[in-house]
Amino acid sequence: MSTTAAGSGLRFFLDRGLGSKIVPETLRAAGWSLETMDERYGKAGSQKIQDTQWIEEAALAGDVLLCKDLAIAHNPLEAQVVYMSGAQVFGLSSATLTGRDMAQWYLENEARIVAAALRADGPYFMAVNPSYGLRRIKLAYPPG
């Protein structure tokens, strides 16, 4: 089993918070197969699409989702879509990073992300952090 995104056969989908330039270009240069919100929905469309829609569509397409932060896990409607669609989601544990830092955090955890995505089907949401690696985040769905 490959520990790199390039050799894994995985395809990643980046939420709008990760942008369409620095993060995707950096990850692509490292061999990650990915698509951004702007590429899939167009620049104008990516600003209008509801998070629930793109989460479901990306998960059902078999994409591994990368997010800027952990908000989706805590929003009950978005967490429900993650749960119901079996999404595999990796979000950065800090929402205040620069584009370069966001890309670096993902690259530093590449082997862990690839191993987790290949090992376990969704639904799950993992926080990504350079100091602790990955940590599973409880979804706000199902309730209780």
Does pLDDT of 14 surpass 80? yes
The residue type found at 110 is: E
- Indicate the range of 26-30, 47-51, 101-105, 140-144 predicted with least confidence: 140-144
* Rounded mean pLDDT, 3-23: 95
pLDDT at 144 over 90: no
Q: What is the pLDDT of residues 127-137, one digit of tens each?
A: 999 999 999 99
Tens digit of pLDDT for each residue in 42-87?
999 999 999 999 999 999 999 999 999 999 999 999 999 999 999 9
**Residue 133 pairs with which residues in a beta bridge?**
129
Q: What phi, psi does 11 have (nearest 5°)?
A: -120, 135
pLDDT of residue 1: 55
The answer to whether the CB of 95 falls within 8 A of the CB of 74 is no
Selected residue with higher pLDDT from 7 and 55? 55
Residues 95-110: pLDDT tens digits? Answer: 999 999 999 999 999 9
33 vs 1, higher pLDDT: 33
Rounded to an integer, what distance in angstroms lies between the CA atom of residue 141 and that of residue 144? Answer: 8
| Region at 31 (left for phi over 0; alpha for psi -120 to 50; beta for the rest) | left
pLDDT at 2 over 70: no
